[in-house]
Amino acid sequence: MTGIKKRWVKDYIIGIIVILIVFNLSFALIIRNYYYSSLRQLLINKVNTSTEFFNRYFTDKEKITFLLKNYVEDYSFDEDFIIQVWDTKGKVLFCSSGLNYAENLQSDYILALQDKVHSSIYINNITMEKLIAASAPIKVDGSIVGILRIITSLREVDSRIKYYITFAIFISFVLVIFLFILSLTFSKSIIEPIKDINEVAKKMARGNFDVKITTKYNDEIRELAETLNYMANEIKRMQNLKSEFISSVSHELRTPLTSIKGWSETILTSDFNDLEEIKQGLKIITKEVDRLSDMVEDLLDFSKLEGGKIKLNLENFSLNQEIHDICNLYKGKANNKGLKITEELDENDIILADKFRIRQVIINLIDNAVKFSKQDGSILIRTIREKHAVKIIVEDDGIGIPIEKIDKVKEKFYKIDIKKEGSGLGLAICDEIIRLHKGDIVIESNEGLGTKVTIYLPQNEVS
């Protein structure tokens, strides 16, 4: 085992073992304390009851000695308990086992001489057996004349405690084995999908984005797999867009360059007698240079937007004045197609925005409207002032956009018709500019009927 699997199993099993060790130690202490306490209390109750009986009803020392001897002899056949009577000088007077051997004085006997009922656990110095004893004083006329002592072996209790502890350790061992197998299975269910994801990710890193990750689990690993699959699809889509963009830009660059080169050669080889032809050539060269310049500007703007390098220069300005200027700018193009440009502008036209960037957006929208309008069509530009926003609407009755392509037209490098002029960056740049103003662009269109583009420009959230 290596890596995550090894760390998981090791840490998991070590943690379980530590918990089980603490549990077994606690269990051993609790069960030992329970049995020892129960037996201790039994002996204390037994010796206490017996001495209270003798102390209460017998006051003659000789008579009580006789009765104690009989009491001890009655237990001579009891295998569970040993009854002893001690004098106050540490000598065993009577013993139910018949063995009156001397023992080391234990704490229970010493405390009984001090008129206390007490118990003690000790090892017999002759049999080396572990015993528990309880002692209580025997009194005559309030004076201690002897000690009654009840003793029993801890062999059976220790044996039972050992059994329970052994059983608990066995269960713990089985539990560790079970949890070890369970942790291996669990870690495998995590590691195997991660290995699969890693292998597919390596293939993606080598440029193969057609591979897909599959997983049968419905958890975070599945989410990771779906995220990587989504990333691969997006990269693949962007590669396709990039290829289309390169193809489109190559075409866009080649066309004006071809015109510029052709007319340059024509002018250079001419005898300069036909001034009209030279003027026409220079106009075409100027027009194509402007096209190249616009394309370069689009690319530079897009690069800045992608890098977050564009900062808004907010100022108050007349929106109506800008729209008038732009409409006049496109009047010539519109007249060439027989287009009618109509303005319906709100009188409350002072807005807070980046004047240059808003102008750039409106130019792009009107340029598209002129470009994609039908011959003798119409273009309507409206502004509507609302409480906290301004709406700028550019509406045409041109060729429209297929409904399945509306959501894509704001994507970078996307062109509905790759044969048309442009870099495919215009609407993507407009969308980013309006987003910087914390606004939005909404496009509505019906194929063959026209397109309506609405800009929502907030006037209390721009920063």
* pLDDT tens, residue order, the chain (463 aa): 456 667 777 777 888 888 889 998 999 999 999 999 999 999 999 998 888 887 776 666 777 777 788 888 877 677 788 888 888 888 888 888 876 665 678 888 899 999 899 999 988 877 788 999 999 998 887 888 889 999 999 999 999 999 999 999 999 889 888 888 887 777 777 777 778 888 888 888 888 878 887 777 677 778 888 888 888 888 887 777 677 666 666 666 666 677 777 777 777 777 666 677 777 778 778 877 777 777 677 677 666 666 666 788 889 999 999 999 888 888 888 888 888 888 899 888 899 998 988 988 898 899 888 888 888 889 999 999 988 899 999 999 888 888 877 777 777 666 665 555 556 677 888 888 898 899 999 989 888 888 999 999 998 644 3
Between CA 381 and CA 188 the distance in angstroms is 64
Between CA 442 and CA 389 the distance in angstroms is 14
Strand ranges, E, within 211-322: 314-318
Domain 220-305 annotated CATH 1.10.10.10: no
101-141 per-position pLDDT tens digit: 656 788 888 999 998 999 999 888 777 889 999 999 988 87
15-61 per-position pLDDT tens digit: 888 888 999 899 999 999 999 999 999 999 999 888 888 777 666 67
User: Which 3 state secondary structure label does DSSP give 122?
Assistant: strand
Tokens of 115: 């008129």
pLDDT at 308: 67
Give the contacts of 434 (CB within 8 A, at least 6 positions apart): 361, 440, 441, 455, 456, 457
pLDDT at 419: 56
pLDDT at 136: 92
Between CA 289 and CA 292 the distance in angstroms is 5
Tokens of 32: 């030992």
pLDDT at 266: 74
247 to 238, 252, 257, 417, 423: CA distances (angstroms): 14, 9, 15, 13, 10
| Cβ atoms of 391 and 455 closer than 8 Å | yes
Q: Give the closest residue to 75 by CA, choosing from 50, 42, 101, 111.
A: 50
β partners of residue 383: 392
Dihedral Cα 54, 58, 59, 62, nearest 10 deg: -90
CATH superfamily of 311-458: Histidine kinase-like ATPase, C-terminal domain (3.30.565.10)
pLDDT at 164: 92
* Count of Cβ atoms closer than 10 Å to residue 420 Cβ: 12
Class (C level, CATH) for 3-160:
alpha beta
User: Which 3 state secondary structure label does DSSP give 381?
Assistant: strand
Q: Give the closest residue to 7 by CA, choosing from 190, 222, 221, 202.
A: 190
| Cβ atoms of 183 and 158 closer than 8 Å | no
pLDDT at 35: 92
User: Which 3 state secondary structure label does DSSP give 208?
Assistant: coil
pLDDT at 248: 63
Residue 424: phi, psi to the nearest 5?
Answer: 80, 15
Report which DSSP code applies to 105: P
Q: String of b and e for 307-324 (b: at least 16 CB within 10 Å)?
A: eeebeeeeeebebbebbe
β partners of residue 150: 83, 134
Domain spans of the chain, in order of start: 3-160, 220-305, 311-458
